[in-house]
Amino acid sequence: MLKGIDPVINAELIHALMLMGHGDQLVLCDVNHPAQTIARQTTYGGLIDVSGCGLERAAEAILKLFPLDTFVDTPVKRMQVVGDPESQMPIFSTIQTVIDRAEERPVKMEALERFAFYEAAKNSFAIVRTSDPGPYGCFIFSKGVV
């Protein structure tokens, strides 16, 4: 263990975060996301698991180290509810609160249709899968600069 680094941040995750540059994207997802399949197509090329951890806790730990991009209007994207794109799942507001608190400002989040989200995830740097049961716990964070 290292001082000051949340134990949720395992060695593989911190390695991936350190490799990322400005504008690179990180997917944070629940256990229902086809993460293993999509992760093969990312820049990192493999799935990063944070087993035993939910989305809220993982987002809090990651966003202590990971600045969000301030050069884009919506540095965070989430998956829409299939068949009801206006629907709001509880995890959406939970993660919004975590993001706003970490950035100390309101941050816009864009909703993407399911398959558009999967395509965006394929173009991300890496995918981090939590043990969160979901549903719709799928988010993409765009990295900024410190």
Name the pTM for this structure.
0.97
| pLDDT tens per residue across span 3-60 | 999 999 999 999 999 999 999 999 999 999 999 999 999 999 999 999 999 999 999 9
Question: Residues 133-140: what's their mean pLDDT?
Answer: 96
pLDDT at 2: 82
Active-site annotation holds for 118: yes
88 — pLDDT class (breaks 50, 70, 90) = very high
Active-site annotation holds for 44: no
82 — pLDDT class (breaks 50, 70, 90) = very high
pLDDT at 76: 98
Task: Give, to the nearest 10 degrees, the angle between helix 90-103 and helix 55-63.
Answer: 20
Residue among 70, 64, 56 at smallest CA distance from 28:
56
Task: Check 24, 118, 132, 136 and give the catalytic one.
Answer: 118
Question: What residues contact residue 7 under an 8 Å CB cut-off, 6+ apart?
Answer: 1
Active-site annotation holds for 132: no
Cα(25)–Cα(21) distance, rounded to whole angstroms? 9
Task: Check 30, 69, 132, 136 and give the catalytic one.
Answer: 69
